[in-house]
Structure 1
């Protein structure tokens, strides 16, 4: 009986799912690990790099590009810092700090691109530097000259030359993206060694809206991921990521609605934004693909209950999170639109049924069909054909690092990089081929076979084919001449998520709470905080000249027109016409809808002029640490003059908080849903309208209605 009980316990242990990993994944070694970038090294481990900050609360000593390593993408070990305290390039000033690293393979070594915040040119003159290393763990040696030198702004200042991100295109050209709010995001081609930009730069994203570029190629499109809003506003940080895509690495990048990212009224399809849980400030991402072919977004976020590393309003505590990145209808979104998680419902696949780093060539695993094969220096070298002894059933994904005229096989299917061609063959028949740039470096080849559909990816080059028949799933390696392999894995491919989570949809109208402004005066139910006699009702609209006033900080001078909100779940919608012009600076004229619990506790959704841009900002202010904290998240772009705005309200069943999700439309039919802000459970927020932010030039906001409905 005791033996049976022990055996049953062992079976139950095997059948019980392992507890899901918690976010943040960097918690084992760091309280903060901002601007994360993740890659896989030659040794099969994943490496993560963060911006210069102290790692732990109370430490107060900055780590100069802290580096961590993982075998599974969820459990990380701190390895050390990329640079010592006195290590800096010749062009860096003594007080320079290194931010936002981006690490890529270049031939047989690695290059780290990094923001150098201060240079010897002048105070505030930032640059992009580079360091090289033989392995992802270092040691790192700075190049003497900047990759991107400081760039004058034309008014005596310097453009923000921040946040580098490298891209290699299928033709072998290398590009570097860089820039931030002051100056926008730019792209330049890189020299062959990757250590300096060449040619004429192209601006791909407008200034005063985007930073933190990261670009990937997928299905013939280049996707630009970029972060918006303030990275570091503590508990009200609205930092978030949106995307545009282009057929060219130089753009123009446009969002799902066709809006460009490099114009005043810039677009951007949401990838991740605050969703109402503990995480705010979800931004500055990297991207990594697991062994099943599933993409994951590495990004930083802020716990609104613990937003600062030490003192309030000091260094923002931004640990690294990891969540699944889905591609739905051609657009990326985290967790199908659910966004940041507290726990990973699924984990990255980092172990597969067949996996070999070729420390040895095991006769139990591999059978030589023909040719010569041997292991040396941690890599498999040889030519001919080598096959796995154990077949793998069903759909398969096989991948490996390789060099030379080499490829992978599944039964009679073979995919090979041959000179300047990537070829898919079924038996002896060529079924697809495409040109590739010649290379003597290690390349990454993946092959997925799903039924009769085959997809091959050689770095960023994709090739698809249809094949007939499917064998037992015997994986192999093949080469027509001496070649190398490393980090081979084979297993079941990920099942892609194809449907996004539901977004709020208006249902039954709540007419008793709504007003269409059909008379000549405000109807019953309205009340004013700081009445403004200039606000009038005529012609079926509330017409309100934009006030030279505001609600943020200590100002609290703006009028707020309010009415009671329904209980439960509802959507409030308004249609506002406000001519903010184009390109010119009109800070911070705005009009929109507000959830208002007080002058220092509100969530405000408005079409707003922010410097030369026109944005829809969802701002949030709360009392914090004896003062107030204000931040905003960007929902999208306003219409040319008319914009439709929605707030979708619900109650969080876990804590009773009021949750408000923001939506925007430029035509009243197609909606973009952005982030969520919360107000306390013990508050009784009302819903209202605002028109403030600046009096010059004079402009009047016209509200057609404020309508409520269930959802």
Structure 2
């Protein structure tokens, strides 16, 4: 099908795709990243949806899929029955297929696929348009399809048109992500480093931006947004740092939350994502295994109710698709997304997985797709029949198998001409949706009700999911299980809801499909341990109380750096360490052997809002001028960030990239936690930052090869205009 697709017979391929539904097989109970390995070496910016056929569909950005292929696919599409084994099934768009506003050479990046008012909509970055001769006058386009498999038809009007930038060129109108709120309002989040991330309201059909956009994440820090609603909060996931620096890529996912889809979104410390000293709490960042550049995420929920994050990453041993400094090789990964104390984190904070892991739950003890006309295994009361791969009927249809214990039950549902339809657990608790869109959970005289939006259409397909944990029931109604609930109810039960699952429809016929009842997932309650700060090591530490200790050594001594009154004062130099510049001073000392934590406290008044590239001060793990990890608070255009930069030699030249930690303050505490991997001998350095010296945010890990001897030091460089002096209170080591 791949050759046929590239030959342009798009409709034929998609017809085959729809017809060739694979037979169900026993799902794997383990998986290993990357999950795209069977069909793609690279599959960047992935999103995943569950289709009405019960299968999962993944979409990626336009790149070649395989080494040596050289030709970019036009939004490649893959399909899976279990979220583990994937098959490439064609491209969403043919070689000559593009919207009217797209230039002939336009590429399509970062698709987002949603179910909007009875049809599937793909929002996609169009990299080059006809509005100007600029080859990066980006816009957000949309295409519609009757199914996640296509065929896709472009709308010839952009959802968000190219936007001229105040500094010239065009704002980066890329990385769209759609969200439907509980009142039915549709939104689109979009944007990147030039212009920031904004949200705009969409027309009812989801195909046009209306009203004025609102900035929700500052420029020069965030892109690749994804918004979902959880426990009454709106969470904005966004990627930060560089996506594509090969073996030095430090891309990661951060989050803020709000009570409104318009924001303001703030991080765990209460710092806004639009502040100049920009907030953002890490959700997913590299942990020292093979994966770096872990970012641009999608989201899904498996049949047990467990949330998962899909994203791309780079194997640091194989960072490029073909040749060095070409296309970055970014396969698709999946990992568990946990919610601990109200905040999302991957694998309870452990980060990306490399090795066998428990697989998502994609089949259940009760798992009915209605591919057969037979209703064996069900007890019928009323009129029920299977037609067109779905169940329609009125009355009650009861499974012959029980659903004891904590359970998640769900179904794709069309209320149709029924007065109400839904699920009943054990005959004791019933959750229904009525023709007006009211979601109601009831047990005896206990009832909870929530209204879906006024534009609820009973003829449209919705997903109804019911979770019972102990005696607490939570039910959600959503378009397509993507974290954008239209209605949610909670009900405290007076007794457990054990027993068979029933489908119910009253007053008319309703349609059901993809009915399942699975054991409810077990939530994570504790975060993975962060680096332990043990006893101080005074022999390696310096409080700067009596000049500069003799253990210090300079690389390019700065005579203006002085020690007095318990501080090292160092005027920020007009110099740097990156690339071939290698002109900045570095103040170093030997580090202890084994595991340790190094910490400094640095005050650097970089102001706010103004452009001051790239003044910085902080700490460094240093082998030489072309192999170091630099942790500093830094001015990046109008933002102030804690950047954990990294440089290493690769293919004959130095390569630099960065990872972002927590929000900085005028005075920021910084830590580097050192660990030697017992299997490889590599030196792993994890970065941490704090705005008060008490509450710490831990970021990513950079590594140094076995056999090197990294020293720990201080730096203050990046520019001397306007003049500013860094003040270090100490450098301390802890075992």
The residue that corresponds to 2:521 in the other structure is 494
The residue that corresponds to 2:430 in the other structure is 414
Distance of aligned partners of 1:674 and 1:81 in 2 relative to their CA distance in 1, 3 Å threshold: same
**Aligned partner of residue 390 in structure 1, secondary structure:** strand
1:147 aligns to 2:159 (yes or no): yes
For residues 355 and 336 of structure 2, the distance between their equivalents in structure 1, rounded to whole angstroms, comes to: 11
1:348-384 Cα deviation digits (max 9, x unpaired): 0011010111123534211113x22111111111121
1:164 aligns to 2:179 (yes or no): no
For residues 559 and 259 of structure 2, the distance between their equivalents in structure 1, rounded to whole angstroms, comes to: 52
The residue that corresponds to 1:291 in the other structure is 303
For residues 703 and 615 of structure 1, the distance between their equivalents in structure 2, rounded to whole angstroms, comes to: 18
1:612-668 Cα deviation digits (max 9, x unpaired): 0000000000000000111000002111x1000000000011200000000000001
Equivalent residues of 1:25, 1:322 under 8 A apart? yes
Distance of aligned partners of 1:134 and 1:601 in 2 relative to their CA distance in 1, 3 Å threshold: same
For residues 685 and 729 of structure 2, the distance between their equivalents in structure 1, rounded to whole angstroms, comes to: 22
1:223-272 Cα deviation digits (max 9, x unpaired): 00000001000001000000000110000000110000012111111101
The residue that corresponds to 2:111 in the other structure is 101
**Aligned partner of residue 235 in structure 1, secondary structure:** helix
Give the superposition deviation at 1:18: 6.6
Q: Following superposition of structure 1 onto structure 2, how do residues 117-516 of structure 1 map, counting pairs within 5 Å?
A: 117-122=127-132, 123=134, 124-369=136-381, 371-404=382-415, 405-411=420-426, 412-418=428-434, 419-427=436-444, 429-437=445-453, 438-440=456-458, 441-459=460-478, 460=485, 461-470=487-496, 472-480=498-506, 481-516=508-543
1:592 aligns to 2:618 (yes or no): yes
TM-score by length of 1: 0.96
Indicate which of 576, 587, 598 corresponds to 1:572: 598
The residue that corresponds to 1:9 in the other structure is none
**Aligned partner of residue 99 in structure 1, secondary structure:** strand
Equivalent residues of 1:394, 1:473 under 8 A apart? no
Q: Following superposition of structure 1 onto structure 2, how do residues 520-535 of structure 1 map, counting pairs within 5 Å?
A: 521-535=547-561
For residues 281 and 180 of structure 2, the distance between their equivalents in structure 1, rounded to whole angstroms, comes to: 24
For residues 497 and 619 of structure 2, the distance between their equivalents in structure 1, rounded to whole angstroms, comes to: 61
1:302-336 Cα deviation digits (max 9, x unpaired): 00000000110000000000111100001011001
For residues 328 and 469 of structure 2, the distance between their equivalents in structure 1, rounded to whole angstroms, comes to: 45
The residue that corresponds to 1:14 in the other structure is none
For residues 540 and 702 of structure 2, the distance between their equivalents in structure 1, rounded to whole angstroms, comes to: 22
Give the superposition deviation at 1:465: 1.0
The residue that corresponds to 1:79 in the other structure is 89
TM-score by length of 2: 0.93
Distance of aligned partners of 1:435 and 1:611 in 2 relative to their CA distance in 1, 3 Å threshold: same
Gaps of at least 5 residues in structure 2 are 1-26, 479-484
Give the superposition deviation at 1:524: 1.9
Indicate which of 28, 31, 43 corresponds to 1:33: 43
Equivalent residues of 2:646, 2:702 under 8 A apart? yes
For residues 300 and 500 of structure 2, the distance between their equivalents in structure 1, rounded to whole angstroms, comes to: 27
Distance of aligned partners of 1:140 and 1:235 in 2 relative to their CA distance in 1, 3 Å threshold: same
Indicate which of 681, 692, 699 corresponds to 2:717: 692
Equivalent residues of 2:29, 2:358 under 8 A apart? no
The residue that corresponds to 1:709 in the other structure is 734
Indicate which of 512, 531, 536 corresponds to 2:562: 536
For residues 157 and 18 of structure 1, the distance between their equivalents in structure 2, rounded to whole angstroms, comes to: 49
Indicate which of 54, 58, 64 corresponds to 2:64: 54
Indicate which of 660, 667, 673 corresponds to 2:685: 660
Indicate which of 635, 638, 646 corresponds to 2:661: 635
Distance of aligned partners of 1:472 and 1:244 in 2 relative to their CA distance in 1, 3 Å threshold: closer
For residues 699 and 671 of structure 2, the distance between their equivalents in structure 1, rounded to whole angstroms, comes to: 10
What is the Cα-based RMSD across aligned positions, in Å? Answer: 1.1
Give the superposition deviation at 1:403: 1.3
**Aligned partner of residue 348 in structure 2, secondary structure:** helix
Give the superposition deviation at 1:20: 3.2
* Greater displacement, 496-505 / 554-563: 496-505
* Greater displacement, 342-351 / 331-340: 342-351
Equivalent residues of 1:431, 1:466 under 8 A apart? no
Runs of 4+ that moved beyond 4 A: none
Give the superposition deviation at 1:19: 7.6
Give the superposition deviation at 1:291: 0.2
For residues 386 and 54 of structure 1, the distance between their equivalents in structure 2, rounded to whole angstroms, comes to: 48
1:443-472 Cα deviation digits (max 9, x unpaired): 111111122111111111321111112354
1:677 aligns to 2:695 (yes or no): no
Give the superposition deviation at 1:430: 3.9
**Aligned partner of residue 35 in structure 1, secondary structure:** coil
Gaps of at least 5 residues in structure 1 are 1-16
For residues 181 and 118 of structure 2, the distance between their equivalents in structure 1, rounded to whole angstroms, comes to: 18
Give the superposition deviation at 1:158: 0.7
* Greater displacement, 673-682 / 470-479: 470-479
For residues 344 and 329 of structure 1, the distance between their equivalents in structure 2, rounded to whole angstroms, comes to: 27
For residues 488 and 567 of structure 1, the distance between their equivalents in structure 2, rounded to whole angstroms, comes to: 57
**Aligned partner of residue 539 in structure 2, secondary structure:** helix
Equivalent residues of 1:364, 1:389 under 8 A apart? no
Give the superposition deviation at 1:393: 2.3
Distance of aligned partners of 1:340 and 1:471 in 2 relative to their CA distance in 1, 3 Å threshold: closer
For residues 410 and 600 of structure 1, the distance between their equivalents in structure 2, rounded to whole angstroms, comes to: 63
1:458-496 Cα deviation digits (max 9, x unpaired): 111321111112354210111123211111110201001
For residues 495 and 532 of structure 2, the distance between their equivalents in structure 1, rounded to whole angstroms, comes to: 45
**Aligned partner of residue 636 in structure 1, secondary structure:** coil
Give the superposition deviation at 1:396: 1.4
For residues 423 and 356 of structure 2, the distance between their equivalents in structure 1, rounded to whole angstroms, comes to: 32
* Count of residue pairs the alignment pairs up: 690
For residues 402 and 31 of structure 2, the distance between their equivalents in structure 1, rounded to whole angstroms, comes to: 31
Equivalent residues of 1:323, 1:344 under 8 A apart? no
Give the superposition deviation at 1:108: 2.6
For residues 39 and 363 of structure 1, the distance between their equivalents in structure 2, rounded to whole angstroms, comes to: 28
